[in-house]
Amino acid sequence: MKIVLASANPGKLREFGELLGPLGIVVASQSAFGLTTPPETGATFRDNALLKARFAARQTGLPALADDSGIEVDALRGRPGVYSARYAGEGASDAANLRKLLAELDGVPESDRGARYRCVVALVRGPDDPDPLIAEGTWEGRIAREPRGSGGFGYDPIFLPRDSARNAAELSAAEKNLVSHRAQALQALVARAGALLARTPAPTSTGRGQLFILAAPSGAGKTSLVRALLARKPELRLSISHTTRPKRATEVDGREYHFVSVEQFKRMVAEGRFLEYARVFDNYYGTAREPVEARLAAGGDLVLEIDWQGARQVRRAVLECQTIFVLPPSRAALEQRLRSRATDSAEVIARRLSDAVSDMSHWGEFDYVVVNDEFGQAVDDLARIIEGRGGPLAASRPELRPLLAQLLA
């Protein structure tokens, strides 16, 4: 099952993904659907979390998850509360909020400086879900008299957790993630999420086919993988894109691409005939809407071999799709594959290499990530995703981190 996280924070996406992955839940960021967070107009953390979750569910048609959190100070009757992120005014920095809080507590004795972080997490199965899952976590402590530490964010430099000699900003991320308000809320959510989602009605079978989107940086082996996947699964079909780039000697019009002129392509754009399109390396590429809709409506499964920009456009237009990103095993392997093609000039290869890092930075917008190190294994991994067994290949899995750090450095 896929759910959307009503946040563009990559740290939250990773944390939620790691906790919900074992339940077979793939977590996608709202940014993958082109969404932004609505104004937080609720009077409580619960109100704001539900507001954001319902908005994301309404816009995407998927179950949605959101959280809202802040700090409550006893001497201030629970303030800043829901205004924690903007306590010193709209757009205020963490430092400005912190200074205002300390100024308001000037002269307040230690015994009256009690405080807590509070986090509320909401999971809805639909925008009007009458029985959302609400989980809450609190982290008790008090407000110190001066900031200490360089870690964390928000009010961490002045929050002294109960039974701790160090402020929250002096704790490592691993230590904080074991005891924080968000960690407690997430743990409570995970303990109950399986039961909630088990009550989610299965989609009514309409005989409609499934749409799979496969993207990768140039040179990752995407085209070869798709060919091998289609040979293994003949029930799949590949959507043939339109392009304005010159046809290579080994290519056939209508097999690899529909080759059209720039004028023809722009006319199709003006007529709204593309599901997605983009300009890549001075050429236009696009997926025609009509053949995709016809194939899916007839109950046939379809693979789109496009770039991350196109994938983002399709996700906005076609909510029910599974997205896969292919990574190379290293930068060296990527360069070697590009040079071995012998179809592009040295200048084009250099541009592709420089753009590859930018392309790979969008891996987090996808449901699954496949690493094309050993070709046969990569094809096996793609087949598992097509068969609905791709949980262990979720983009949020921790074992990808060392490779991504090396690829994106």
Which amino acid is present at 361? S
Domains belonging to the chain, first-starting first, are: 2-198 (3.90.950.10), 211-408 (3.40.50.300)
Higher pLDDT, residue 35 or 77: 77
Residue 341: the pLDDT is 64
Residue 201: the pLDDT is 46
244-260 tens-digit pLDDT: 999 999 999 998 899 99
Which residues on adjacent β-strands are paired with residue 253? 257
pLDDT band at 140 (very low <50, low <70, confident <90, very high): very high
The pLDDT of residue 318 is above 70: no
pLDDT band at 204 (very low <50, low <70, confident <90, very high): very low
The three-point CA angle 322-324-330 to 5° equals 170
Strand order in the sheet with 114-124: 26-29, 2-5, 64-73, 114-124, 133-143, 159-161
The pLDDT of residue 197 is above 60: no
90-114 tens-digit pLDDT: 888 999 999 999 999 999 999 999 9
pTM: 0.57
2-41 tens-digit pLDDT: 889 998 777 677 777 777 777 777 888 888 788 888 888 8
Residue 397: the pLDDT is 85
pLDDT band at 216 (very low <50, low <70, confident <90, very high): very high
